[in-house]
DNA sequence: CTGGAAGCATTAGATAAACTTAACTTAAAA
DNA sequence: TTTTAAGTTAAGTTTATCTAATGCTTCCAG
């Protein structure tokens, strides 16, 4: 059905130059080869493309139509390859990264912005989502890499983790927090299970998964019916609610660093260590990272380092 | 710079199937060949296109971009070739024809219309112009063929006529005509040079070329200062002016067939035969005419035959 | 946990192209 | 007329593509 596509390039050379000899020079082969290729192409598509006039080739209407198809393609191809190739010396092109919803919303806009100041040829596509979604996108090649809470999913990821390279980047401290006010008036500074469970809570989802796992971790008990006074699927919003004395909520400590340091927000401490949410950089094990990948990842890690995530509150931050 | 383009087709097969084996089936070659070609392509463009996962090929971002270029091209190409090929069994596509201005305006709309009733897949591009323009367009392949007053130009066509195939189609009788009224009242039915030159004329151009050559032909004299009462570059308009007794004008007899037959318009007869304007079908000698070409040309000739151009008034109509 | 099965990669050898050289044709220029 | 330039053709060579056979790895079934 389709002709030999290389011949179309030769056709292009002939069409643009209107000459076999000129086309041969352009293609760095002999006129004879050009002539033969053109003939074969005409046989393949069963249509004459040029009327042979002495020392001249006059394109037929079919040649015009074919050229109209081939010409833009060859230009697109050349431009595309130039772009692709230039990405080997200078970061450029689109970077497709995935991140957990809250984490992504909080950090990436700023990181993207600062990165693009250095490398304006790079564009981004940020996908926010659950680990399982992000991992499968990485596996399908839809994402170049993703930041993922691997610990949370490790077990229930379909397919095996062996195909990924997983590099821990930061450990988020997951804490139950409330305002200083609330801590004194509602809890009387008492962090016992009984006292806590009787309080009010702000949750991300109606099922209060995060809350339940916090209680499971810290008290080995299930918080049967926490009194959810507010449900909002945004970390920033939960922090704001806490500050307005609405109740207690699960937050990531470094996201409210200043408020905690200055005592406006209090984290509920128990005898057990805090839950650590390990966020890792996940990419395909066998993928050779592009220059753009590597450059951005370095930039990202530096930014995380600089933000000093976690280390301020506990000691188990630097992972492996 | 550019990679081997055939490999891009193989890349396309791999990308769409995400599998070497499936691509091999599609291309009717062995998986080994596919694998080798992919490897060579990746070396050529110095960019990995797929990360090899067990039993799976995951496209990189570069592969996505390349595919975005190759995919539409292959589809366009296939569609284009289908169209081109179908033109071998059924007239279709664009027919680019040239014609003298007046002749084209008068005949082609109707002929195109009747042709498209039979062959709705054919579209037209009609170029009206002088012989020299039309011939050079034919020579450059911009027109598939043209109707041309060859006699008028024969001598001053640049390049030689040998490259064209020239087939006389019709001989137009070029006459000086006026209304019956005008003939009687203004000329007194006297067609002598003196009487004629004293009359009023309708001309196409201010320089009255056609008029002058009519007088040169019929009286061997130059009509020095004909009294041009109207200038309009349209044969139909000139005929209308004549019918309104405005004066005499050069027209092509068959265009006013009915009016002449019924005596409403009178042609000025002299001792010499009428000027014959031979219109020929011109195309490149060596061009193999497409089915669409041939079908339309047959249709055109039949229509001319049916119109019975010229034969009604004189005998030298059927050319060679 | 062991033994196919399935998919991809690699090699060498076979096959099929693409290319070159050289001779020929033709039309235009000198 | 001779010369030149462009295109074509035929034959031989070179190059590249393909196949066949083999190995590797992972997945799945027994």
pLDDT tens digits, one per residue of A124-152: 999 999 888 898 899 888 999 999 986 55
Of the residues A8, A51, A139, the best mutation for testing chain B's interface (the one with the most B CB atoms within 10 Å of its CB) is: A51
Nearest nt to the CA of B31 via C1' is: C8
CATH class of B5-86: mainly alpha
pLDDT score recorded for residue A64 = 95
CATH class of A93-171+278-307: alpha beta
According to DSSP, the β-strands at A248-252 and A164-179 are: antiparallel
Q: Which residue has the higher pLDDT, A206 or A77?
A: A77
Whether pLDDT at A317 is above 80 = no
Q: Other C-beta atoms within 10 Å of A295: how many? A: 18
Which segment of A118-127, A203-212, B6-15, B32-41 scores lowest on mean pLDDT?
Answer: A203-212
Residue A266's SS3 state is strand
Q: What percent of chain A has pLDDT over 70?
A: 92
* C1' (C9) to CA (B35) span, angstroms: 7
The pTM of this model reads 0.81
Asked, colleague to colleague, whether B93-171+277-307 and B172-276 share their fold, the answer is yes
pLDDT score recorded for residue B168 = 86
Task: For residue range A297-307, list pLDDT tens digits in order.
Answer: 999 999 888 77
Q: CB less than 7 Å from strand D: which protein residues?
A: A 18-22, 31-32, 34-36, 38-39, 52, 55-57, 159-160, 163; B 4, 6, 28-30, 32-33, 36-37, 40, 54-55
For strand C, is any atom closer than 7 Å to the CB of B6? no
* Separation between Cα atoms, residue B200 and residue B211, nearest integer Å: 12
Q: Which residue has the higher pLDDT, B309 or B70?
A: B70
pLDDT score recorded for residue B161 = 65
**Cβ separation of B80 and A66 shorter than 8 Å?**
yes
Residues facing residue A146 across a β-bridge: A98, A282
Cα angle B82, B85, B88 (rounded to 5 degrees) comes to: 150
Of the residues B27, B48, B58, B291, the best mutation for testing chain A's interface (the one with the most A CB atoms within 10 Å of its CB) is: B58
Residue A22's SS3 state is helix
pLDDT score recorded for residue B77 = 97
| C-alpha dihedral, A14 to A15 to A17 to A19, nearest 10° | 50
Give me the DSSP letters along B149-174: EHHHHGGG-SS-GGGEEEEEEEEEEE
pLDDT score recorded for residue B150 = 67
Contacts of B43 in chain A (CB under 8 A): none
According to DSSP, the β-strands at B248-252 and B200-203 are: parallel
Exposed, middle or buried by CB within 10 Å (0-12, 13-18, 19+), for B158?
Answer: exposed
Cα angle B98, B99, B105 (rounded to 5 degrees) comes to: 120
For strand C, is any atom closer than 7 Å to the CB of B36? yes
CATH topology of domain B93-171+277-307: D-Maltodextrin-Binding Protein; domain 2 (3.40.190)
CATH topology of domain B172-276: D-Maltodextrin-Binding Protein; domain 2 (3.40.190)
Q: Which residue has the higher pLDDT, B17 or B130?
A: B17
Kindly state the tokens that stand for B156: 């001053």
Task: For residue range A249-278, list pLDDT tens digits in order.
Answer: 999 888 888 899 899 999 999 999 888 888
Q: Which residue has the higher pLDDT, B320 or A226?
A: A226
Which of B95, B284, B290 is facing A53, going by the closest CB pair? B284
| pLDDT band, very low/low/confident/very high, at B101 (cuts 50, 70, 90) | confident
pLDDT score recorded for residue A13 = 97
Domain ranges of chain B: 5-86, 93-171+277-307, 172-276
B69–chain A nearest CA distance, Å:
6
């Amino acid at each position: 059905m389709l002709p030999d596509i290389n011949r179309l390039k030769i056709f292009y050379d002939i069409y643009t130059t209107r000459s076999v000899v000129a086309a041969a020079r352009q293609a760095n082969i002999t006129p004879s080869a050009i002539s033969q290729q053109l003939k074969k192409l005409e046989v393949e598509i069963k249509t004459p493309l040029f009327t042979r006039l002495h020392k001249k080739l006059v394109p037929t209407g079919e040649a015009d139509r074919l050229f109209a198809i081939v010409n833009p393609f060859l230009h697109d191809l050349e431009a595309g390859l130039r772009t692709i190739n230039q990405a080997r010396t200078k970061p450029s092109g689109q970077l497709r990264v995935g991140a957990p919803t809250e984490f992504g919303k909080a950090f990436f806009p700023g990181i993207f912005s600062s990165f693009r100041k250095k490398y304006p040829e790079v564009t981004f596509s940020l996908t926010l989502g659950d680990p399982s979604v992000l991992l499968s996108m990485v596996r399908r090649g839809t994402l170049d890499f993703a930041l993922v809470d691997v610990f949370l999913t490790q077990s229930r990821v379909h397919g095996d983790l062996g195909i990924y390279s997983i590099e821990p980047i930061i450990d988020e401290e997951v804490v139950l927090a409330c305002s200083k006010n609330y801590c004194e008036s509602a809890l009387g500074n008492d962090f016992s299970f009984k006292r806590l469970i009787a309080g009010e809570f702000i949750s991300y989802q109606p099922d209060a998964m995060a809350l339940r796992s916090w209680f499971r971790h810290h008290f080995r008990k299930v918080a049967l019916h926490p009194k959810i006074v507010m449900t909002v699927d945004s970390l920033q919003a939960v922090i704001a609610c806490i500050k307005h004395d609405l109740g207690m909520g699960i937050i990531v400590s470094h996201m409210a660093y200043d408020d905690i340091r200055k005592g406006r927000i209090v984290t509920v401490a128990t005898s057990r260590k805090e839950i650590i949410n390990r966020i890792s950089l996940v990419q395909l094990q066998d993928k050779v990272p592009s220059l753009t990948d590597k450059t951005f990842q370095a930039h990202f890690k530096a930014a995380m380092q600089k933000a000093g995530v976690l280390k301020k509150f506990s000691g188990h931050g630097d992972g492996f």
